[in-house]
Chains A and B, each alone.
Chain A
Amino acid sequence: DAGITQSPRHKVTETGTPVTLRCHQTENHRYMYWYRQDPGHGLRLIHYSYGVKDTDKGEVSDGYSVSRSKTEDFLLTLESATSSQTSVYFCAINGQKNTEAFFGQGTRLTVV
């Protein structure tokens, strides 16, 4: 497996609370991504990063923020969790343009 780990793997939280998911890589890859996966919607891009402190929005970025203060870590924050953010979240990395992206194991988040 590529050196990518997500934490936590499972989380249950209450509506209105802040939540931070972490993606950690040991590959020194430039690009990092956060996706959410929901039945019937496939993998939808939330935010991605193309370098330290360089991030951009994806197609479903509302309600999410990200930070990348060092190459190895990409954090996804839900400032005030809502039930619509219940999902499986995947982080992915790749080192160069137009190359294979490696996925983390996923984080199952439930907002009650």
Chain B
Amino acid sequence: GENVEQHPSTLSVQEGDSAVIKCTYSDSASNYFPWYKQELGKRPQLIIDIRSNVGEKKDQRIAVTLNKTAKHFSLHITETQPEDSAVYFCAATAAGNKLTFGGGTRVLVKP
């Protein structure tokens, strides 16, 4: 089955700096890659997603890039703010619409 690796597990950045989280996946048939944000005590919520026919997608301060050849994708957050502090999860969907998550990255934005 699909295996998704996510790095780093924790990330501390100064407010205003950029944050980058990287994920790799194993199943070349995977074709949908969402990113979720989970605040403390809350449910995960989608922040951005990308499909395999697109190399990059941007939404305000958030961008995702996908390299299908290398089987990796990344989340970029620019101009980080304290409210960006949370746990972020990458995921991949392969055959049967089975959604597999990475281990998560705890992001701390220091004011």
Interface residues of A (CB under 8 A from B): 31, 33, 35, 40-45, 48, 50, 56, 58-59, 90, 92, 94, 97-101, 103-106
**CB neighbors of A among B1-30 (8 A):** 1, 6, 9
Q: Please report the C-alpha to C-alpha distance between residue A25 and residue B44 in the assembled complex, in whole angstroms.
A: 17
Q: Which residues of chain B are near A40, meaning CB under 8 Å?
A: 9, 103
Q: Which residues of chain B are near A94, meaning CB under 8 Å?
A: 97, 99
B31 closest partner in A (C-beta) = A98
In-complex Cβ contact of B89 among A43, A50, A97, A106 (8 A): A43
Q: Which residues of chain A are near B89, meaning CB under 8 Å?
A: 42-43
In-complex Cβ contact of B96 among A44, A50, A106 (8 A): A50
Q: Which residues of chain A are near B103, meaning CB under 8 Å?
A: 40-42
